[in-house]
Amino acid sequence: MNIARFLPVVLLAALSGAPFAQTSPLPPGPSSAPPRPVPTIPQTPIPPPPQPNAASWVLMDYANGQILASRDPDARRPPASLTKIMTEYVVAAAIAAGKIHMDDKVHISEHAWKAGGASTDGSTSFLQLNSDVPLKDLLYGMIIQSGNDAAIALAEHTAGTEPAFAELMNAYAKRLGMDNTHFVNASGYPAPDHYSTARDIAILSRALIRDFPEQYKISAIKSFEWNGITQHNRNTLLWTDPTVDGIKTGSTKDAGFCLAASARRGEMRLIAVTMGGNAMSDATSGDEALLNWGFNFYRTHKLYAAGQTLAAPRLWKGESNTLPLGVTDDVLVTIPRGEYGELKATVDMPATLIAPFTKGQQVGTLHVTLDGKPLADKPLVALNDAPRGGFFKRLWDAILLWFHHGTGTTTAPAPTVTVAPATSLAPPASTP
C-alpha cells in the first residue's frame, strides 16, 4: 500500500478530531445519469450477553485480554480442578527452563497415591504406588483425565514437595496479575485459603495458550489410556464444537461445576470461564453461549503495528530534527461489529522534546477510546536512538526554543487530551 496517499486524510482527521474510516468509491455509471443513492442500512444493536447459570463468569478476548462480558468476575471461589491449569503452567515453565524433561521418570509417592489415587473420591489416573511413570504420561493424565494423583506427582517432581510447588504457583499467579488467587495444592482438592476468580482463571488460560502452546495442545485430546484404562476428556465441547480446543473442567461440592473453554474461529480466539454452576451441563452450555455470542457480535482489529511510526514530533538539540514514536507491541482492540469508525486515538507527550533519547524509552502514551470510553492505553516509545547534536546545533536550537517559549509541537493539540500538548491520531486503515 502507498502510505503517502493516505497521509493528507489522516492529518485532516487528526486536526479535526474526526475518526478515519475507509470508504469505497461508487462504480462508474453513464455520464448522463446521476449516481444511484446508497441505501442506509440501520445498524443492528448488539443483544445483551447470555446469562450462564453460574455464580460468576467472564468472556475474554485472547488477543488483548479485554473482558467482553462478565458477572462477578472477581468473586473469590474454590476453583476445583481449574487449579490444574496453573499446575500445567508451572510444569511447562520448568520444562522450558530445562529443569525437568518430558521423558523424565517420575516416582509415584505415597502422598500422590493416597491423596489423589483410586481410594479417593476425586478424579484419578489410577497410578500405582512406588511406580515410575514418564512425565509426559502424567501431564496427559492430569490434563485429559484430570488425575489428582498425576498433578501431585508432577508437583513433587518439579519442586520436591506439593507445598513448595504451591509456592511456585502463587509466585506465577502474582507475576501474571492474578490478584485474587491463592493456591494451597496442585490438584484443586478442597482446602481452606485455596481460591481463585473467573477473571484470574481467564488470565491464566490466556497465559498458558500464549506462553506454552505445545502443552496447551494436550487440552484438545479427547481421550487417554493409561494402565489399560481409557478415560475421556470431561470437556464435552470438544465433541460438539470443532473450534473449541481446551481448556479444563472442574467440580467439587463447594466449587460447584466449573469450565474454562477456549475456541478459535478464523484469526479470533475467545476464552470463556464459568464457576459455580449447578451441573456440568450448566457450565458447558454457559461457555458455549458466551463463545457464540462473542464471535457473532465482536471483531478484533489490529490498529497499529509494533515499530510503526505514529508520530514524529520536533526534537530539539539532537542530531535529527524529529523523533519517530511508536509502540513496542501490536495494538489490538476488540469492539462490536460495525463500530470501527467510532474509534479514536490520541497521544499524550511533552510539549518540548530535548535530546538525547534511547530506543525504547517511553516518551508518552497512546490512548484508544470508543464512544469516549477507554479501550487501550499503550506506552509511546522512541523507535530509534536520538543522540545529542553538535555544539552549534544545540546552540541554534537553544535560541529557537527561547523564541518558541517551550511550546514547540508538530501538530495541533487534541481537545480531548488532558495532558497537553498532545498529538491527535486517527485509527489507520483496517478492515472493519
The set of catalytic residues is: 81, 84, 146
Sign of the dihedral defined by the CA atoms of residues 343, 349, 354, 356, in that order? negative
Distance CA 257, CA 56 (A): 11
Environment class of residue 401 by beta-carbon count within 10 Å: exposed (0-12), middle (13-18) or buried (19+)?
Answer: middle
Beta bridge partners of 60: 67, 271
What's at 414, amino acid-wise? A
Extract the C-alpha cell encoding 105: 521418570
Distance CA 257, CA 276 (A): 5
What interhelical angle do 162-176 and 198-211 show, nearest 10?
90
Distance CA 343, CA 21 (A): 9
Angle made by CA atoms 424, 426, 430, in degrees to the nearest 5: 160
Q: Given 3-state DSSP classes, what are the helix, strand and coil percentages for the chain, each rounded to the nearest 5?
A: 30, 25, 40
